[in-house]
Structure 1
């Protein structure tokens, strides 16, 4: 199942990047607040939500397999691999988690 090519997840990743970019611009023109550092928490929150959505897709796959009660009669075990779109979304969310955490922790040091 294609899951609509993960439109919701990619949209959330785009919103997270947009929040970071807008806050960086706002921080550049304002000296009163640390919008960029604060945006790191929003980036991490959105990336974690994307990871949750991806895990719910995996759970749906498991439920579907149980419902179909399909059995594979092979002596060689098969390793389950995620689809390429799912891997891409998950990789982007992992990167955003790391980058968002760095922004959250050190984003206020950019302008000092």
Structure 2
């Protein structure tokens, strides 16, 4: 008989339920993991393509990576605006659970990391647009 391992969430949950709970916690508004991943996804391809363009001499790889930087940075800002919308809806509803979630969201958004994200995104959108438009001229 195969022994079931404890996933760290709850005993007796199926793998699907455990994955759903873990994903829900990860995507919760207090978690900055999604923002960090999207920001890394916006910078990673640019760095990688800059190296590839330098080695091969083909500038189009670096130029195209600017579009990915813009895309992922815009996704971070979209996620933040969607979370603000959800927080406003929670404030309007009479549900105490949603109101508690709103209080946690307001507390999380007052952290310095959370407040610096828009400036990082705007800078990345600006740089990504420059790379997208003029990145081929560097090589």
5+ long unaligned stretches in structure 2: 1-27, 96-105
The runs of at least 4 aligned residues of structure 1 exceeding 6 Å deviation read: none
Which of 15, 18, 21 is 2:47 aligned to?
A: 21
> Tell me, what secondary structure is at the counterpart of 1:4?
coil
Instruction: Tell me which of the two structures has the higher relative contact order, counting C-alpha pairs closer than 8 angstroms and 6 or more residues apart.
Output: 1
TM-score (structure 2 length as normaliser):
0.64
Q: Which has the larger radius of gyration?
A: 2
1:75 corresponds to which residue? none
5+ long unaligned stretches in structure 1: 70-79
Question: In the aligned structure 2, how far is the partner of 1:101 from the partner of 1:24?
Answer: 15
1:73 corresponds to which residue? none
TM-score (structure 1 length as normaliser):
0.78
The equivalences for 1:32-43 within 5 A come to: 32-43=58-69
Instruction: Give the CA RMSD over aligned residues.
Output: 2.0
Report if aligned partners of 1:54, 1:86 keep a CA contact under 8 Å in 2. Answer: no
